[in-house]
């Protein structure tokens, strides 16, 4: 596995990462009830000898602007060895659910430039970093929000390729499931965005595959 023993893994993002985590940081029983908690559970179940700590600093409603503003406090202050970033859903969503409020819209150029800066500034201070694309739980690629989310996802992949970090294609993970079942059944309230337990497991599994987790260990 890519993550070494005695490491701190910090996972940051929006509401999909937050999932009711404690403040100022989610950990242990207060890590939140989403994919971060599943990652924590699966890591410590298969690698109990690794002494791994998983921290959750996701915040509901965040865009990449919010992440940049709180990066020092919610990332660097915890001295993580590994950082996972999943952001972009709200950057896109605000353009659709609040179309008359452009001050809340984060367009592609700003999104890509800001995320790239966070990655470049963070890499010298950590052992590893993982990028996770935003997604929309719909296999209708012509849907305007899905189509825009795909464009933002491509920006994440470009940054990952440029900086040599693993990239979790969360949209592809949901699309694979969507070949067999209606993808919104993986979302809470069928909103196509906030996962239920099955949806969070899709994200956790995709993340663990990216870090070369051994599902047969033990």
**Which residues are catalytically annotated?**
15, 191, 194
Burial 16-52 (b: 16+ CB within 10 A, else e): bbbbebeeeebbeeebbebbbbbbbebbeebbeeeeb
C-alpha 171/C-alpha 133 separation (Å) is 7
C-alpha 188/C-alpha 199 separation (Å) is 9
- What SS3 state is found at 54? strand
End-to-end, the C-alpha distance of the chain in Å comes to 14
C-alpha 146/C-alpha 173 separation (Å) is 14
Specify whether the CB–CB gap between 50 and 5 falls below 8 A: yes
Beta-carbon neighbour count of residue 153 at 10 Å? 22
């Amino acid at each position: 596995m890519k993550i070494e023993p005695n490491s701190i893994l910090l996972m940051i993002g929006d509401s999909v990462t937050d999932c009711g985590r404690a403040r100022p940081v989610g950990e242990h029983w207060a890590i939140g009830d989403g994919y971060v908690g599943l990652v924590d559970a699966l890591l410590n179940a298969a690698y109990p000898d690794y002494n791994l700590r998983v921290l959750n600093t996701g915040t509901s409603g965040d865009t990449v602007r919010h992440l940049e503003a709180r990066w020092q406090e919610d990332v660097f202050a915890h001295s993580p060895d590994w950082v996972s970033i999943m952001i972009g859903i709200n950057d896109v969503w605000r353009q659709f659910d609040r179309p008359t409020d452009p001050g809340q819209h984060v367009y592609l150029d700003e999104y890509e430039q800001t995320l790239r800066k966070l990655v470049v500034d963070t890499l010298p201070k950590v052992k590893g970093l993982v990028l996770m694309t935003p997604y929309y739980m719909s296999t209708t690629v012509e849907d305007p929000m899905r189509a825009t989310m795909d464009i933002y996802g491509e920006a994440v992949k470009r940054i990952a390729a440029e900086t040599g970090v693993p990239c979790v294609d969360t949209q592809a993970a949901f699309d694979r499931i969507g070949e067999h079942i209606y993808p919104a059944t993986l979302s809470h309230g069928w909103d196509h965005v906030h996962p239920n337990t099955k949806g969070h497991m899709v994200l956790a599994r995709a993340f663990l595959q990216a870090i070369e987790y051994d599902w047969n260990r033990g």
